Amino acid sequence: MQGKTILYTCLACISLQTAQAQSFTLKGTLPKTTLATNRYVYLSYRQHNQTITDSCRLEKHTYHFQGKVEYPAEATLYLKVSEDNAQYYFKTHFIKPYQHVFFLDKGALTAVSANELIDTRVSGSAAEDDHLAMKKEQDDLYQEGERNFGKERKAAFAGKDSAAIAAVLRKSYAVDDAQEAAKLRFMQQHPQTGIMLKLLNEYTRTKIDPVVIGPLYDGMQPALKASPEGIAYGVRLAKARETAPGMPAPQVTLPDRNGNAITLASLKGKVVLLDFWGSWCYPCRMSHPHLRETYARYHDAGFEILGVANERGDESGWKESWTKALDEDHMTWLNVLNTSSSAEKEKGILNAYDVKAFPTKILIDREGKIVEKLVGNSEKNRAALDALLERLLGAH
């Protein structure tokens, strides 16, 4: 093992010294190094928000790393290549033949490359075993979908048949749902998996259900939970608990198109749908026809929509883009503009409601308590909103 560079802050060093850091070894074989500019293999991974980079000279197509990890981490084996090659793969987004990503864990690991570094299989890492098992299940579900309706999808789009496209998209969404269900099932069946944080972040990319996710987070490997990434996820989970169904909705005070301050508190006594959207967001705009129908049906029964627009680009053009979209989409309900800068938005109303994607819709009851959070514009979400409004306001 040569050329080792460990980048730690003092606090990180103390953490590794006092916590249960575990040793690992990684012995590898690499037959081909086509694009490499030297005879070294590099290993990079992160612990406690710091990057650890190690290097080892290839001797007779073999290499050997050793070190310590406090918790499983995604790692990269890679070769150094010319700037031209690096730029080529960066611009084209082609898979890089000179690197391999895997999960590094404690123990004796072996990396065997069939040809180039990309053709590598790492064994001996419990976290990588779980990663490969989960990847296979996801790939199998995708391939099953391709066998069932791949030709149908191609024909629908080639023929520009809107009804056929809608039908095949429903089947595609069903595959997505199956893949997400597989992730949840895997987490529930493997509570100590080293890829728990990766799966949690993927599964809850846009929404956290604390009832489902809380036990998984609480029961994960202690070192993984105590990592910076684990702590950050815990903060997000705590925020989700604050905005879970039954909790008071955080207050909103923002200006409408005339500069008048509109508050969520002023709407207490009505069933309110907070709609986080933006003029730039195609799925958001596509949800507006359904909102127009819903607003017309339930408004007289005590239903109100409060749109919260989140614009992008030059701030001087926000109001024009927003009001143009209001008029084009015939949005007659209440609408306000989130006037905070991008950095402030992350700490403001979007953070208060843990908004990670657009559109996000929050349904609030007459008492000002959250009923449901709906992320995205899907048939399932539209049907769920209709059912909830029927329950809260009666059939109309």
Q: Say whether pLDDT at 343 is over 80.
A: no
Within a domain: residue 340?
yes
Residue 15 identity (one-letter amino acid): S
| pLDDT(17) > 90 | no
Nearest residue to 168 (alpha-carbon basis) of 152, 183, 180? 152
Residue 345 identity (one-letter amino acid)? K
Q: Are residues 271 and 386 in the same domain?
A: yes
Same domain, 315 and 238: no
> Residue 233 falls within a domain, yes or no?
yes
Report if residue 111 sits inside a domain. Answer: yes
Residues 266-281 have a mean pLDDT of 97
Summarize pLDDT for 208-226 with one digit per residue, the tens.
Answer: 999 999 999 999 999 999 9
Confidence of residue 348 (pLDDT cuts 50, 70, 90): confident
Beta bridge partners of 107: 24
pLDDT at 11: 30
Do residues 235 and 179 share a domain?
yes
Domain residue limits at 112: 2-124
Q: What share of the chain in percent tops pLDDT 70? A: 93
Instruction: Give the global pTM.
Output: 0.85
Query: Rg (Cα) of the chain, in Å, rounded?
Result: 25
- Looking up tokens 């909790």 gives 247
Question: Where residue 316 sits, what CATH number does that domain have?
Answer: 3.40.30.10
Are residues 374 and 257 part of one domain? Answer: yes
> Which residues neighbour 155 within 8 Å (Cβ) at sequence distance 6 or greater?
164
Q: Which of 123, 75, 83 is nearest to 99 (CA)?
A: 75
- Identify how many contiguous H helices and E strands the chain contains and give both numbers: 14, 16
Pairwise CA distance, residues 89 & 110, whole Å: 27
| 168-194 residue pLDDT tens | 988 998 999 999 999 999 999 999 999
Boundary residue ending a domain (90, 124, 158):
124
Report d(CA 55, CA 78) in Å as an integer.
10
Residues 79 and 134 in one domain: no
Using the 3D structure, point to which of 96, 124, 152 is the last residue of a domain: 124
Confidence (pLDDT) at 394: 80
pLDDT value at residue 393 = 93
Q: Which CATH number goes with the domain that contains 59?
A: 2.60.40
- The count of domains in the chain is 3
Give mean pLDDT, residues 286-302. 97
8 Å CB contact between 349 and 249: no
Q: Is the peptide bond before 72 cis (omega within 30 degrees of 0)?
A: no
Distances (CA, A) of 148 to 34, 145, 338: 39, 5, 44
d(CA 326, CA 93): 37
Mean pLDDT value across the chain:
92
In this prediction, residue 6 has a pLDDT band, given cuts at 50, 70 and 90, of very low
pLDDT at residue 18 is higher than 90: no
pLDDT of 1 higher than 50:
no
Kindly state whether residues 355 and 324 are assigned to the same domain: yes
Q: What is the mean pLDDT of residues 265-287?
A: 97
Q: What six digits make up the tokens of 307?
A: 């749109």
pLDDT one-digit tens code per residue, 323-342: 999 999 999 999 999 987 65
Dihedral sign (CA 192, 198, 202, 206): positive
Q: Quote the tokens at residue 318.
A: 């926000």
Burial, 295: exposed, middle or buried (Cβ in 10 Å; 0-12, 13-18, 19+)? middle
Instruction: Residue 75: name the closest of 128, 29, 5, 118 by CA.
Output: 128
Residues 187 and 267 grouped into a single domain:
no
Token pair 């001797």 is found at 59
- Regarding whether 176 and 68 lie in a shared domain, the answer is no
pLDDT at 13: 36
Q: Within 13 A of 219's CA, how many CA atoms are on the CB side?
A: 12
List of E strands, the chain: 2-6, 22-29, 40-47, 50-57, 62-69, 73-78, 99-104, 107-113, 120-123, 253-255, 261-263, 271-277, 303-309, 334-337, 360-364, 370-375
The reply to whether 150 and 200 lie within a common domain is yes
Instruction: Answer whether residue 344 is part of any domain.
Output: yes
Query: Given this model, what pLDDT does residue 24 score?
Result: 98
Same domain assignment for residues 377 and 267: yes
pLDDT at 20: 78
**Quick one: which H or E segment has residue 344?**
helix 342-347
Check residue 342 and give its pLDDT: 54
Q: How many CB atoms lie within 10 A of CB 356?
A: 14
Give the confidence band of 344 by pLDDT, cuts at 50, 70, 90.
low
Which tokens hold the place of 22?
Answer: 């575990």
Residue 282 and residue 318: Cα distance in Å, rounded?
Answer: 16
Residue-level pLDDT at 169: 87
Give one DSSP letter per residue of 89-112, joined into a string. HHHH-PPPTTEEEEEE-SEEEEEE
Q: Are residues 358 and 281 in the same domain?
A: yes
> Per residue in 64-86, pLDDT tens?
999 999 999 999 999 999 999 99
For residue 297, is it within any domain?
A: yes
Q: On the CB side of 289, how many CA atoms lie within 13 Å of its CA? A: 5
pLDDT tens by residue, 87-145: 999 999 999 999 999 999 999 999 999 999 999 999 999 999 999 999 999 999 999 99
* Portion of the chain with pLDDT greater than 90, in percent: 88
Which residue among 242, 267, 296 closes a domain? Answer: 242
